[in-house]
Amino acid sequence: MGDVLGYARVSTGDQDVAGQTMRLERAGAVKLFTDVRSGGSTDRPGLAALLDYARKGDTLAVVRLDRSLAELLATVARLKERGIALVSLEERIDTSSAAGELVFHVFGAIAHFERRLIAERTKDGIAAARARGKRPGRRPLDRDKAAAALKLVAAGLSPTAAARQLGLGRSTVYREIGRAGIRRGTWPASTP
């Protein structure tokens, strides 16, 4: 009987792997590997280290399956070749059994089907909006408002106050300030 090796991943540095690691330790993980990478990133040094460390008979435990179907299937195939099982706590899947492997493939197929449905519905919604004369997506920036915001900031109003006064997003005003080459510190810190 091999070891249970835990793998925890979060998308950004703002998120914390502590909740996942606690669940993995409760599930019997003797060694934990972590990554702070987006789901789309294929560069996962923690997962690579786990795969290098794992031996035949070990079990890779994750809290939930949150990667693409193709990547999951490829990872499970690699694990199976090496005699390593995959356990997902959230979905209650254990590929060490035939039933668990079947459930894994069914869940993966359902997730893939769901993503395809969402993509098709989105495409249909955009086509329907265009047919009604709508232009989906973000409205183009009103250049006059952007110029007015820059003038307000230059006159001493804070970027936040200028954005509020003109009905623009604060981040839009900051982006325009950057594009105009106005350096931080040349406007007031906070003006109502």
pLDDT value at 36 more than 50: yes
Residue pLDDT, tens place only, 112-148: 788 888 899 999 989 998 899 888 877 888 899 999 9
* Residue 96 annotated in active site: no
Residue pLDDT, tens place only, 141-153: 889 999 999 999 8
Return the CATH architecture of domain 4-108.
3-Layer(aba) Sandwich (3.40)
CATH class of this structure's domain 138-192: mainly alpha
Closest CA to 63 of 34, 83, 97, 103: 34
Catalytic pick among 11, 38, 158, 190: 11
Number of other CB atoms surrounding residue 70 within 10 Å: 10
Q: Say how far apart CA 124 and CA 99 lie, in whole Å.
A: 37
Domain ranges across the chain: 4-108, 138-192
Percent of the chain with pLDDT over 70: 89
Beta bridge partners of 88: 62, 93
